[in-house]
Amino acid sequence: MEHYPIGIGDLQISIPPPRITLESMIEHRIREFPELERRLRRSVDKTGQAAVRFPEPWQDSATIAAQASYELLLRNATAVPSIRYLGAGTETTVDQSKPMAAYVEGMLQSAGIDIPERMMTFQAQHACAGGTIALMGIAGLLSMTDRDERGLVVSSDIARYDAPSTAEITQGAGAVSLLVEKNPRLLEIDFASAGYCSRDVDDFFRPNGSVVAKVKGGYSMQCYNESLDVAFHDHCERVGKAPDEAIASTDMFVFHVPFKLMALGALQRLVSHHTALHGADLDRFLSERGFEASLEPNTLVGNIYTASTFLALAFLLRERYDRFGDDIVGKSMLMASYGSGNTMIVLSCRIAEGAPQVIRSWDLDRIFQTGYDAPLGQYLTWLEAPHSATRLDELYTANDVPKGTFYLSGIREDGYRLYAFQRS
């Protein structure tokens, strides 16, 4: 059987429009709890966060996943008949048994996307690494056949924390859908040299029945950094490179981004530990590789868990293309995907021949152009979710849903969630 490179052919991002700035959020919290002011303002300084996005009343992680997948497949209509696998990565699933991927399949079909029924759907959960694990699973399945087959991976999450708390400022919502294929047009991934680290820790978790995650901030950062170091060394051993050589030969870095300054600090620590780069030389090294450009969207969107790595990927590729043009082809990338609880996956990638054309087809700025500053009351109502079917009926009707949008159309008496597509 012939060997083909496998990776990402295209991607699409979907971010809910409602936005609340941290200034608005913190002013409200300080009025209620003046004693929190110092901690909240210090948290803003430590994260680099400016705003967070949250869902409309008719949106959940499944509808956002379907939206990203729908827009991706509209742009790649010729690939639809060859889709063999549909995998979802999420830590905020909508059902304790049925995978989000199955709901996405149904929504896509309801919108006129002729997704084949002769395919496998599944869901991967490992905190924020679920989407990467789904990607790796589908890549492995595609490698087992010479047939012209593809996979769809969608990472979708709505991050919720206790409110008020210092973690509240890093909430977020969004999805990224990936088209996985042989001879990929965008990004070739060397799955054989993946570096791993996994440990049983309690840095971050969401107990059964809880809609909010529990996080130990400082400990989670420690776990992130320690597992990155182990997984990076594992990767270096598999490719036969010393750590300093592996870093120096990498043109781009993409990390999971819980918040901007956490990912920035992690890469600064990794590079300075394994090379002689410090201070201004270290800053120059990261700047030359466009790393901070990949982190900026997070400051306006928030943590979107499984999708955050791929959000960073898209904006880094756009920035690198703006700088290098077609010379972006062939450049190397190191991707680090972290999942609390915990696992770290380090992947080596290469920018594929078709990347310039794919990147030119994106409209990433639309994410921010379509966002709007939501009233504080709308944000506080979201924090009361999940809502009952009766409460949802009070919050919206189908007429409120924009054209071309998937929405939660109802919840049956037995708890089953019903979805629809707004055609007009």
Q: For residue range 10-44, what is the model confidence (pLDDT) as tens digits?
A: 999 999 999 999 999 999 999 999 999 999 999 99
In a domain, 376, yes or no: yes
pLDDT of residue 220: 95
pLDDT of residue 1: 66
d(CA 383, CA 88): 25
Contact 76, 179 (CB under 8 A): yes
Residue at 205: amino acid letter: F
Q: Provide the number of structural domains found in the chain.
A: 1
In a domain, 97, yes or no: yes
At 156, list the tokens. Answer: 């979708």
338 pairs with which residues across the strands? 344
pLDDT of residue 131: 98
Regions of the chain short of the pLDDT cut 50 = none
Which residue pairs, CB below 8 angstroms and at least 24 apart, start in 284-293? 286/253, 289/250, 289/251, 289/252, 289/253, 290/252, 290/316, 290/319, 290/320, 290/323, 291/252, 291/253, 291/264, 291/267, 291/316, 292/264, 293/319
**Residue at token pair 């270290």:** 282
In a domain, 377, yes or no: yes
In a domain, 360, yes or no: yes
In a domain, 1, yes or no: no
Question: Given its phi and psi angles, is residue 99 left (phi above 0), alpha (psi -120 to 50 degrees) or beta?
Answer: beta
pTM of the model: 0.97
CATH code at position 156: 3.40.47.10
pLDDT of residue 33: 93
Contact 366, 207 (CB under 8 A): no
d(CA 371, CA 24): 16
Residue range(s) defining the domain that contains residue 319: 6-422
At 246, list the tokens. Answer: 């592996």
Beta strand extents in 251-342 (DSSP E only): 252-255, 332-339
